[in-house]
């Protein structure tokens, strides 16, 4: 079956702009989590959605937001971009987070100039 699809794969923005990233989960997966991966901080949890509701949120500023649609597809948005937001943003989906069996997409690599 199709895996987790993230779009776009690569994008370049400038400081102050905003960006929206998309994630289409594996069919049947209702949980969608987002992670930020950087060389310095590693993988950090952003937030998790389940059935269109944000269940959990990591320690990121309010500029980072997300939503989930009725078909379980999810988007995350970063407003007022900063240089430090340059990272690989990974989406992970699963049937339920409690097992931790997450399936990851290949990520969206954001570069902020």
Partner 1 sequence: GNSVTQMEGPVTLSEEAFLTINCTYTATGYPSLFWYVQYPGEGLQLLLKATKADDKGSNKGFEATYRKETTSFHLEKGSVQVSDSAVYFCAGSYSGGGADGLTFGKGTHLIIQP
Binding part of the chain for partner 1, among 13-21, 62-70, 71-79, 94-102 by CB under 8 A, reads 94-102
Q: Exposure string (b/e) for 26-59, b if CB count within 10 Å is 16 or more?
A: beebebbbbbbeeeeeeeeebbbbbeeeeeeeee
* Cα–Cα distance for residue pair 19/37, rounded to 1 Å: 16
Q: How far is the CB of 17 from partner 1 (least distance, A)?
A: 25
Among 20, 22, 86, 97, binds partner 1 (CB under 8 A): 97
Nearer to partner 1, 18 or 38 (CB): 38
Tell me 26's DSSP state. Answer: P
Q: How far is the CB of 15 from partner 1 (least distance, A)?
A: 27
- 37 alpha carbon, distance to own chain's centre: 10
User: Is residue 92 a contact residue for partner 1 (CB under 8 A)?
Assistant: yes
* Cα–Cα distance for residue pair 15/81, rounded to 1 Å: 5
Among 30, 58, 60, 73, binds partner 1 (CB under 8 A): 58
Interface with partner 1 by CB under 8 A: which residues?
4, 33, 35, 42-45, 48, 55-56, 58, 90, 92, 96-107
């Amino acid at each position: 079956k199709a895996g987790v699809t993230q779009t776009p794969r690569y994008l370049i923005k400038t400081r102050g702009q905003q960006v929206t990233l998309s994630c289409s989960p594996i069919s049947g997966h209702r949980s969608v989590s987002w992670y930020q991966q950087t060389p310095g901080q590693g993988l950090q949890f952003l937030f998790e959605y389940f059935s269109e509701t944000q269940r959990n949120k990591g320690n990121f500023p309010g500029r980072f937001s997300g939503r989930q649609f009725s078909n379980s597809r999810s988007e995350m948005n970063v407003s007022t971009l900063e240089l430090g937001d340059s990272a690989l943003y990974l989406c992970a989906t699963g049937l339920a987070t409690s097992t931790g069996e997450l399936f990851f997409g290949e990520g969206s690599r954001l570069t902020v100039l």
